[in-house]
């Protein structure tokens, strides 16, 4: 008999499993995929660490979380500095003085602020949706070129139908600084993320290619308690209806005879007419240390947003008011469970970055172990 069955070998499940083992608990981890790591899984492709499910850059201002993750890997000093392409024009992200200079020819923060203030004045009162929020932050020019098309592709909805809070994740700065994140600590683990999960799960029984829902009762009976990191609505057999998610599709190419495809790890394509949202060139995540730029190949991934349908891989919860109200019904069921814990993006129906996942998993472990 196991103390815990952990459904999902992603970051939340792995952190909890690691903490449970430290407390002497007997743990079984299962995952429906053929690999551990969930969406942070990286694989070696001819010497380049490929982020299989999209770019993952670790960032946090929480020293406890930073110190925790350092146990499992050495991190490089990668700084996330994406570039946005709109109809052949290149703009630095996040919105900063380099962006404003390219957009309007302004040079000083005062000039940029004056232009932003002039443009954002069209929004009166509290922004009601993402379009109004974006314009209230950076004005219509930046919104039309760098926000609207990209966001509508990513979420599969018009910007006027999306909640305002989504755009809060885009920092705005009146400095010449292309660092996307504001956090004190940032980097990517040397050798990829999979090694981190391997170390977390060292000495713990893991069964891959195991679908919890094909043998739910039988698998649940193996342990005193279950930590479930999958979709909470699926756990309850969609009793109140389906929650909405966004999915993604990835096209990865190993390009021979090209050592440097785009000169940056992440290039966003902000026109709605371009079907993918971004192209990732993986070797730049480790400064060319992965064989160096003299290596005569590179690996790129085109990332396409996709409408989620039952059976597809869910990536983002759609946290609008309608879905949050539905989630509240499932949460009420979950709160009554004595032997089942729900965690992670899908189990808690919340958008988490990696540092959030670790903090939540450590909190969950402290509460339950």
> Could you list the active site residues?
169, 173, 246, 278, 303, 351, 353
d(C-alpha 49, C-alpha 91), whole Å: 27
Within 10 Å of residue 324's Cβ, how many Cβ atoms? 16
Continuous segment of H or E residues that includes residue 138: helix 130-142
d(C-alpha 133, C-alpha 138), whole Å: 9
12 in Cβ contact with 343 (< 8 Å): yes
Q: List the one residue out of 183, 163, 214, 213 whose CA is nearest residue 317.
A: 163
DSSP-assigned letters across all residues of 36-94: SSGGG-EEEETTEEEETTS---EEES-HHHHHHHHTT--B-------EEEETTEEEESS
Q: List the one residue out of 99, 167, 155 whose CA is nearest residue 131.
A: 167
Write the DSSP symbol of residue 105. -
50 in Cβ contact with 198 (< 8 Å): no
């Amino acid at each position: 008999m196991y103390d815990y069955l952990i459904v999902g070998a992603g970051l939340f499940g792995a952190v909890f499993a690691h903490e449970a083992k430290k407390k002497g608990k007997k743990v079984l981890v299962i995952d429906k995929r053929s690999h551990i790591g969930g969406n942070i899984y990286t694989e070696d492709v001819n010497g380049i660490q490929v982020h299989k499910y999209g770019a993952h850059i670790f960032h946090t201002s929480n020293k406890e979380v930073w110190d925790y993750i350092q146990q499992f890997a050495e991190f490089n000093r990668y700084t996330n500095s994406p570039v946005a392409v709109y109809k052949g024009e290149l703009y630095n992200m996040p919105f900063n003085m380099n962006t404003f200079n390219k957009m309007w020819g302004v040079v000083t923060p005062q000039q940029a602020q004056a232009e932003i203030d002039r443009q954002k004045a069209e929004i009166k009162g509290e922004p009601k949706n993402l379009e109004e929020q974006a314009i209230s932050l950076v004005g219509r020019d930046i919104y039309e070129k760098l926000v609207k098309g990209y966001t509508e592709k990513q979420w599969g909805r018009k910007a006027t139908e999306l909640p305002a809070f989504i755009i809060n994740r885009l920092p705005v700065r009146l400095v010449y600084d292309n660092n996307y994140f504001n956090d004190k600590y940032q980097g990517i683990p040397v050798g990829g993320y999979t090694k981190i999960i391997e170390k977390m799960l060292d000495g713990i029984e893991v069964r891959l290619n195991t679908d919890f829902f094909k043998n739910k009762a039988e698998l649940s009976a193996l342990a005193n308690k279950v930590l479930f990191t999958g979709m909470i609505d699926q756990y309850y057999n969609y009793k109140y209806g389906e929650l909405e998610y966004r999915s993604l599709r990835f096209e990865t190419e190993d390009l021979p005879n090209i050592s440097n495809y785009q000169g940056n790890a992440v290039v966003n394509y902000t026109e709605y007419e371009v079907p993918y949202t971004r192209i990732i060139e993986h070797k730049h995540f480790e400064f060319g240390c992965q064989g160096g730029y003299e290596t005569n190949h590179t690996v790129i991934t085109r990332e396409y947003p996709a409408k989620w349908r039952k059976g597809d891989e869910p990536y983002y919860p759609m946290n609008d008011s309608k879905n949050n109200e539905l989630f509240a019904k499932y949460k009420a069921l979950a709160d009554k469970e004595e032997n089942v814990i729900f965690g992670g993006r899908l189990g808690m129906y919340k958008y988490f970055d990696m540092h959030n996942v670790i903090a939540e998993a450590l909190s969950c472990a402290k509460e339950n172990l």
